[in-house]
Structure 1
Amino acid sequence: MQLPPLSLYVHIPWCVRKCPYCDFNSHVFAAGTQQSVAGSIEHAQGETAGERHLPEAEYVDQLERDLRSQLPWIQGRKLGSIFFGGGTPSLFSPLAIGRILDLAESLVGFEEGIEITLEANPGTFEQAKFAGYHRAGVNRLSIGVQSFDPLQLQNLGRIHSGDEARIAASQARAAGFDNINIDLMHGLPGQGEQDALKDLERAVALGVEHISWYQLTIEPNTAFYSAPPVTPGSEQIAAIQRAGRAYLASEGYQRYEVSAYGRAGLASRHNLNYWSFADYIGIGAGAHGKFTLPESGRILRTQRTRAPQHYLALGCETGEGGTAFPLPKVKDVPPPERPLEFLMNALRLEEGVPAETYTSYTGLTLESLAGEWGRLQAMALVRPLGPSIATTPFGYDYVDDILQRFLPEE
């Protein structure tokens, strides 16, 4: 086994409002509380900005302790990318984001040309801070638009308008960002092919470098799961996807992952790190991580407690009066589970990954894939094993079915 590249994920768990489709670890914030409000939208609507309080400084202090606790797993590597996700990371001040970046650089170190992404909502509250984030070191902004259509924004529980989304992209550019992503959804209630294309056309017209275009799915523990909206059927979804992919390709956006499209050379480095089965540190409430330990042959998956108030309470007094910060919850990935773990990531990439990474990152030989892979190849679902591990264009639409073939035996 070899040490793969390393990234950092920082989770900021708070939002102004919980969207009805969202199953991420996000919590509405209010004065004196860090309350989880899955499905409770009215609570946020009833507050003014002045009544809200974020424990920003306390949370950044805890992020530092979290990062320090995981330093032994870093093994001399520097960070190739950092991603601030949420929740809504743009609720934090540029000063706080800059402090986190300074800590990461001093404690771990940065590779040359590091990509640093921050997710932001298009509201004016966030727009005013874009220049500050850029000065702090963020060099890639990901704007959560979801749709430019007023009716769809209402359906999705979003609190910005289409005009605010367009202004946000313009202001991000004016603030100095030359790498901007826009998140869009398709398969929305009542959405037809032309409606979906209009959203894409509006995003392309803004000249952004990257578009994440993903299908609305109804997840457990969301408001939509309790009261599902009527969404397009499978044939309509397929037609929307075909039209959207063709349009984005015609505009110079290369599809490199199931729902990610970038201009040449501008695929998200952080996403590529995930899907290549590389390592990443996860800090913050509910954050996940992955570490490879070549000397012992172990692969670890880590996870922090999800509730912000529990995360902020982590740490125990030692006999010397200091504070010992606990390690995250750890799960070993044993060899029988590694083929599936690897393929769940690698097959999301349209071109797959170099075959040698399977051996170097899992400690297994290609023979551990060969039997089932050969049967899938006979069905024209995957390419020959080596020099890459990848599906065929036909098989790319059936990744979930392919992965089922690699479930470990119980």
Structure 2
Amino acid sequence: MENFDVIVVGGGPAGLSAALSAAKAGMKTVVIERGDYPGTKNVMGGVLYTKATEAVVPDFWQSAPLERPVIEQRYGFLSGDETILAGYRDPVWAQAPYNAHTVLRVKFDRWLAQQAEKAGVMIITETVVEDLLYKGDNVVGVRTGRAEGDLGAKVVILAEGVNAFIAKKAGLAPQMRPDTVAVAVKEIIQLPQEKLEDRFCLEPGQGATIELFGDSTQGMMGTAFIYTNKDSLSIGVGALLEPLIRTKWTPNDLLEALKAKPYVKRLIQGGETKEYLAHLIPEGGYNAMPKLHRQGVLVVGDTAMLVNGLNREGSNLAMTSGKMAGEVAAQCIQSGDLSDQGMSLYEQRMRDSFVVKDLYKFRRLGRFFETHPHFLKVYPEIAANAMHLYFTADETSKKERQKQIMKMVFEKRAKGGLVSDVFGAWRAILK
């Protein structure tokens, strides 16, 4: 049995960041990836944040296969065929090292794997890890599906994605629930660069993102997105599994309905679909986080439920957790303390970081939307109707128009309900 200091299960951003950090600390490290190569099985919306990535690979933006720096972020609500939009554009975001980039995971993950290999990491592909290996109660490696596939290790880092098969077997993660995971589908739609830049009012090479709520998911808890790549758009939609099951909508139905919306239809007009992808996304947040460590094991990225859906952050949480795990693994190996108590240093560092602090801050959000499903259906409708009334110029006075708007609001949502909703939203998002 070949032995390593650190085995990383999964070749996504979290796993590769862990491997890079461990290797840089002098650890003999291997990544086991079930795909043909890192990136083939990995899907995300497509926004990569600079600060977290640069902490793993300094000056990555000078050589990584990136699509466009994001200089504008738009948010919108859809209600029927109506659209309410707000956005923020910052010229500073167009200057190196930039704030964020759009990426295509197949390209980026493969590049990140190459950086890991340059640091001395071995990458084994097309291999499934079936279980951890134990000596007594101590984890001493992994068992793969290959003949003579047992590999020894002092520390195993689980970056296996939201399904968390090994983490569940190890007693670290609970069984997945339909209210803690979302199903997302995504298309890559090819468009000429000049059309992209014209439709999004961008200078050559610049990028923009759009997040859409409300009828983008038929009022279900979830979101839709449109991101600009070099010569394509990434368009997708995701919703919690529980309402999808209850309403019998399929993710593909949601995507087709989104593409038919007038605002969206115009942005993708004339494009050709080149890829279709689907993926599970952890949405349980802080309350669904598994145990992050045990003797000889650390849990990172999607396996640890590290996604901040409200702020569209996932890649930065994954890479930050991976970097910390790799560093802690090396530190514990060097000190000779591979106990659960020794591994707890990783959790301490995570709780001191923005990762867990942000997840904790929004820990009530999921439950709030579960108990207030009208928030993503009724309120976009109220806002759209109010704007239609206010911006329609006829012989009605503005004073009368305001009365009409208030009457319409209270017809759709009683005063008591409004007060309760405002307090609930404040408590879930701002407190």
Interval of TM-score (by shorter of Structure 1 and Structure 2) = under 0.3
Provide the TM-score with structure 2 as the length reference. Answer: 0.25
- By percentage of residues, which structure has more strand? 2
Quick check: which has more Rg, 1 or 2?
2
Larger RCO: 1 or 2 (CA < 8 Å, sep 6+): 2
Provide the TM-score with structure 1 as the length reference. Answer: 0.26
